[in-house]
């Protein structure tokens, strides 16, 4: 069953007198529980598509359905509420708050929800355990390795129990060993937690962990490969 449906999705921006179209009439289905990798050169529309799926941006035209709902029709406030309940975002450079501990960074998104302190504690502890970094809960980002920081960022993304995870170059700042650990973790999370993951990457090795790889060029899907994840 497709959890994400794009039909003739186009996104156009204006930069002065110039019109820029990073996505043009894109059709795409992403199945529930799928780990999808997006590849393509810079400016091909990968991050634009990621932001549309995450509800950070809206298409100029076309239909973008998540679980059957056309989120492009949502008001700004409704879209923000939907995003908080359904989407987790994993950044390449982690975006952790340096003055907060790992625990406090993971707890941040929950402070916007109507949860008790004990409920927040249970969710944060569970998320840190899932990513294998519970023993670093009281450490600050500066006290963690790059791989550990990314684990904290992943815990923060999943703590709200989202249906969809989006990851923008999640291993771009990591060494090969740490990248392998993070990609293995992401693949396992899609299977154990049951979320759908869309990952943008420039690294062909990273796509080996995905179920499927899509290639974008100039805003259009040009080919697709099946992943080799086992």
- What single string gives the DSSP state of each residue in 131-142? TT-GGGTT--GG
Residues of the chain with pLDDT under 50: 228-230
Tell me, what's the pLDDT at 218?
85
Tell me, what's the pLDDT at 42?
85
Residue at 66 is within a domain: no
Q: Which residues span the domain enclosing 189?
A: 33-58+85-226
> How many domains does one find in the chain?
1
Tell me, what's the pLDDT at 229?
46
Residue at 1 is within a domain: no
Based on its alpha-carbon atoms, the radius of gyration of the chain, rounded to whole angstroms, reads 17
User: What is the per-residue pLDDT across 148-177, written as a single tens digit (0 to 9) for each?
Assistant: 999 999 999 999 999 999 999 999 889 999
Phi, psi of 148 (to 5 degrees): -70, -40
Residue at 135 is within a domain: yes
Q: How far is CA 97 from CA 35, 92, 94, in A?
A: 28, 14, 9
Residue at 90 is within a domain: yes
How many helices (H) and strands (E) would you count in the chain? 6, 10
Whether the pTM exceeds 0.85: the reply is: yes
Residue at 115 is within a domain: yes
Contacts of 166 (CB under 8 A, 6+ apart): 50, 53, 54, 87, 88, 89, 90, 197, 198, 199
Count other C-beta atoms under 10 Å from residue 141's C-beta: 18
Helices (H), the chain: 46-53, 76-86, 102-107, 117-130, 146-158, 176-192
Check which CATH number belongs to the domain holding 169 and give it: 3.40.50.300
User: What is the per-residue pLDDT across 45-82, written as a single tens digit (0 to 9) for each?
Assistant: 899 999 999 999 999 999 999 999 999 899 988 998 89
């Amino acid at each position: 069953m497709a959890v994400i449906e794009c039909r003739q999705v186009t996104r156009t921006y204006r930069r002065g007198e110039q019109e820029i179209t990073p996505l043009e009439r894109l059709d795409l289905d992403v199945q529930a529980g799928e780990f999808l990798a997006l590849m393509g050169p810079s400016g091909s529309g990968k991050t634009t598509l990621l932001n549309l799926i995450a509800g950070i941006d809206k298409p100029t035209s076309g239909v973008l359905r998540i679980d059957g709902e056309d989120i492009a029709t949502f008001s700004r406030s409704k879209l923000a509420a939907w995003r908080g309940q359904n989407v987790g975002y994993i950044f390449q450079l982690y975006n952790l708050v340096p003055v907060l501990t790992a625990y406090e960074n993971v707890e941040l998104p929950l402070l916007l929800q109507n949860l008790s302190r004990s409920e927040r504690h249970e969710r944060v502890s569970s998320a840190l355990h899932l990513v294998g970094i519970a023993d670093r809960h009281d450490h600050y980002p500066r006290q963690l390795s790059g791989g550990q920081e990314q684990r904290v960022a992943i815990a923060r993304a999943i703590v709200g129990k989202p249906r969809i995870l989006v990851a923008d170059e999640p291993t771009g700042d990591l060494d090969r060993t740490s990248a392998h650990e993070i990609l293995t973790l992401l693949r396992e999370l899609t299977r154990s937690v049951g979320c759908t993951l869309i990952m943008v990457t420039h690294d062909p090795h990273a796509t080996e962990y995905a179920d499927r790889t899509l290639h974008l060029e100039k805003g259009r899907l040009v080919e697709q490969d099946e992943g080799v994840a086992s």
